A = this chain, B = another copy of it.
Amino acid sequence: MDAKAIKRSFDGSGFRCTPQRYAVMAFLMEHNSHPTAAEIFKAVNRVDPHSSRATTYNNLRDLVQAGLVREVAVEGRAARFDAKGMRHHHFICDRCGNVEDLEWYDVPRPATRSLGKRMLRECELIFRGLCTKCAPRRTSR
């Protein structure tokens, strides 16, 4: 898809555009399913068959640090990843742990007073409940 854009974003962060790194980023941009590191590792190696587990994890860590990828921690499950495209919120399913995008809207910031000397970087709004797949079977019990 947007090969040029990916390369440019790597340059901007001081990363070399290696096949392994590129594959991770491209996969994340083509899928909005919030895959886990293990899923990304597997998917990448199905196509471009050479990326080690360590490299996949290293690249994910670097991309998160550089702000190109978002990491979503889900209680009791592996972390999920997300290419940072348009701003959006997340809905996390109580039952299956899936992470889904919800359209973005502005979040009110806390009172300056209550923040004290903390340096606020972002406000993240997370919705929880049952996803479309899980809602029916859970209510009928």
Contact = CB atoms under 8 A, between A and B. Distances in A.
Interface string A68-89: 0001111110010000000001
Contacts of A71: 75-76
27 contacts: A71-B75, A71-B76, A73-B73, A73-B74, A73-B75, A75-B79, A76-B79, A91-B120, A94-B121, A105-B108, A105-B110, A108-B108, A110-B127, A117-B132, A117-B135, A118-B132, A118-B135, A119-B129, A120-B128, A121-B128, A121-B129, A121-B130, A122-B127, A122-B128, A123-B126, A124-B128, A125-B125
Given A119-B135, A122-B127, 7 more contacts: A107-B125, A108-B108, A117-B132, A118-B130, A121-B128, A123-B127, A126-B126
Contacts of A135: 117-119
A127 to B, nearest CB: 6
A120 B132 CA distance: 11
Interface of A: 71-76, 79, 89, 91, 94, 100, 102-103, 105, 107-108, 110-111, 114-132, 135, 138-139
